Amino acid sequence: MNNPVSVSPFDVRALVRSELAALEAYTPIVPFEVLSARLGLPATQIVKLDANENPYGPAPAVIEALAEYNFYHIYPDPQQTELRHALAAYVGVAAEHILPSHGADEMLDYLCRIFLQPGDAIIDCPPTFGMYNFDAQLTGARVIEVWRRADYGVDVEAVERAVLEQPAGRVKLLFLTSPNNPSGTWLPDADLARLLRLPVMVVLDEAYVEFADHPSRAAWALQHDNLVVLRTFSKAAGIAGLRLGYGVCPAWLMAELWKFKQPYNVNVAATVAGLASLRDLDYLRATVEKLKTERRRLSALLASVPFLEPQPSEANFVLCRVNGRNAREIKQTLERQGILVRYYNKPGLDNCIRISVGRPEQTDRLVEALHALTVHRT
Ligand SMILES: *Cc1c(COP(=O)(O)O)cnc(C)c1O
C-alpha cells in the first residue's frame, strides 16, 4: 500500500522556475518493443523507418569491444583523451578542439545554458530539428523563427534582418542544420560564410554530414571564433542507443566547456563503442555508401508513387509531400503493417511524411505497401 502524500503547507510548485510552467512535456513515441507486441509482429519484422537510425547498426568489432571490456566498474576519463585523439584523426581537427558529449543533444543543452538567459533570443530556421527550440525555451530565451524557403533552403537575408532588427547582443545563437532534418537540405558554403559575419554564435549541426555529397565544415570552427560544429555517432555510426556525440569548437569555447561540462558526461560503454567504431572506418564508410546508394533507389521508387513528392536529400532520409491523400492515414495504414514512418502536419510540413533509408528489403516492403495504397484508397 502507498503511504498518503504529505501536502506541504505552502505551494511547493511555485518554487519551480517560471519558464518551465509554460512548457509542454515531450511527446514520446511508442517504444519499438511495445509496438511490436501490439502488432503481434516480432521486432525483426518491423520496418522502422521513422527515426533516422542506421539499420545496419555498429560494426561487429564494436559489439566485440563492448563484450570484452573489463573495466565498467571504473569511472570514465573526464577528459576523454583517447576518444578525443581518435576523433581528431577522423575529423581532421586537433583534439584540443573536440569535446565528446552524451549525444549531440547534450552539447545543444550545454550551448543553450552557456549562452542564454531570460530575455535573450535565438534564431531557429524551421522546419528543422526540434531540440534547438526546446533547449532554448528551457533557459527562458525567446525563439525567433525565420522560416525556410519553399525549397527548404535557409532564407539568409531574412536571418540577417531578424538579427539586425533586435537590440545589439539580444540574439545570441543561430542554429543551422546541414543536412537539415527533416528536409535533407544542404546549406551552401557561401550561405554559411555570410551568416558567420553576423554578431552571433553559429551552431552548425552536422548530425547527418557523413551521408552528404559535400564535405563537412568541422574545420571551419578553427577559423571562425563564432562557430561550433556538432557531430554524432547516432546516425552514420549506428549507436544512437549508446548516446555519443561531439562538438568541434574554437579554443575559447573549449575553455568555457571544460568549466561547464559534467565530468562523467560520456559513459564508458559509449567511449568503448566510439573508439571501436573509429578503428573500423572501413565498416562505417561501407555502411554509409550502402545507405547513400539505397537513398537514390528509395527516392526514385517514391517518385513513382502517384501521391508522393519526394524532396532531394543529402541525409539518410527522404521527406515527401503527400498530394491529394491524407498523410496521417497513410502513416497509420503503413503502421498496421509494421512499417513505421514519421508523419508531420505543421507549418512548412503540411501533410508530409519522412522516411528513413533502410535496407533494400525494407524499401521493397515499404514501396509495395505504398503501391497497394494507390490501388485501394485509404
Ligand atoms: C538525431 C539528431 C541529433 C541528435 O544526435 P544525438 O547524438 O543522438 O543526440 C542532432 N541533430 C539532428 C539534426 C538530429 O537529427
- pLDDT per residue as tens, the chain (378 positions): 566 777 778 888 888 888 887 787 777 777 878 888 888 888 888 999 999 999 999 999 999 999 999 999 999 999 999 999 999 999 999 999 999 999 999 999 999 999 999 999 999 999 999 999 999 999 999 999 999 999 999 999 999 999 999 999 999 999 999 999 999 999 999 999 999 999 999 999 999 999 999 999 999 999 999 999 999 999 999 999 999 999 999 999 999 999 999 999 999 999 999 999 999 999 999 999 999 999 999 999 999 999 999 999 999 999 999 999 999 999 999 999 999 999 999 989 999 999 999 999 999 999 999 999 887 554
Cα angle value 179/299/212 (rounded, 5°): 25
Give me Rg for the CA atoms of the chain.
Answer: 22
Together in a domain, 93 and 24: no
> What pLDDT is attached to residue 254?
98
Ligand 1, residues 26, 108, 181: which to mutate, most atoms within 8 A of Cβ?
A: 181
Query: What cell was used for 152?
Result: 527548404
171, containing H or E segment = strand 171-177
> What pLDDT is attached to residue 114?
98
Together in a domain, 245 and 157: yes
Coil, helix or strand at residue 42:
coil
> Cα dist. 103→120, 133, 147, 367 in Å?
25, 17, 26, 32
Residue 300 within a domain: yes
User: Is residue 95 within 8 Å of 87, Cβ to Cβ?
Assistant: yes
Give the distance (Å) from ligand 1 centre to CA of residue 54.
Answer: 13
Burial 296-312 (b: 16+ CB within 10 A, else e): eebbebbeebebbebbe
94 φψ region: left (φ > 0), alpha (ψ -120 to 50), beta (else)? beta
> What pLDDT is attached to residue 126?
97
Query: What CATH number did the domain enclosing 361 receive?
Result: 3.90.1150.10
> What pLDDT is attached to residue 129?
96
Nearest partner of 136 among 160, 113, 159, judged by Cα: 113
> What pLDDT is attached to residue 20?
82
In the numeric block, the cell 565498416 is attached to 283
In the numeric block, the cell 555510426 is attached to 237
Among protein residues, the one with the nearest Cα to ligand 1's atom 11 is 207
Together in a domain, 39 and 76: no
> What pLDDT is attached to residue 2?
62
CA distance 353 to 46: 18
CA distance 278 to 285: 10
- The domain boundary, picked from 242, 260, 280, lies at 280
Together in a domain, 219 and 79: yes
Give the distance (Å) from ligand 1 centre to CA of residue 44.
Answer: 24
CA distance 372 to 378: 10
> Cα dist. 289→61, 84, 244, 269 in Å?
19, 25, 22, 26
Q: Does any ligand 1 atom lie closer than 6 A to the CB of residue 91?
A: no
Together in a domain, 275 and 287: no
Residue 67 within a domain: yes
Together in a domain, 361 and 214: no
Q: Which domain holds residue 71?
A: 62-280
